[in-house]
Structure 1
C-alpha cells in the first residue's frame, strides 16, 4: 500500500499518511520526513512496521496507532497531547 505524508508533528514524533482508504497515524523518527513524500508498506497495521520512504529512498520504523481515520481524527491524533 502507498500513501503520502500529510502531516508531521516533529515535537512529538508523530506523522499522518494519507492513503486511498483514509489516514494512517503513527509515531516514529520524523527528523528526515517531509510533507508529500511517498511512503510504501503495510499502512493498515496495529504494530511497528518497517516502511519505505520512496521519495527519499530509505526505510524507517513507524509504530502505527490508527489507520483508515478521517482527516479530522488524524489531525487530532497528530496534534493531541
Structure 2
C-alpha cells in the first residue's frame, strides 16, 4: 500500500489534515512526495483510531508513492501544441 492509497483510505486530504492537525496543502504534498517520517506516528495513530489495520511504521517506510510527480514551477504553464511556453516570446 503506497502513501497515496493510505491517504485515500483514511478519507482523503481533508480528513487526514483534520486527523493529524496539518493544513490540507501539506497533505496534498504528501500525496505527491510521500508522507514524511516525522508524520508517520501521527498517520499510524489516525489509522488505528479509524480501525484501519495494516498502517504501521514499517508499511509507511515502504509505501512511498509509486511515481512522484514534481509540481510545475509557479507562474509557468506547459506549452500546448502550437503555442510557445509561458514567458517565451
More helix by share: 2
Q: Smaller-chain TM-score range?
A: under 0.3
More strand by share: 1
TM-score normalised by length of structure 1: 0.25
TM-score normalised by length of structure 2: 0.24
Which of the pair has more CA radius of gyration?
Answer: 2
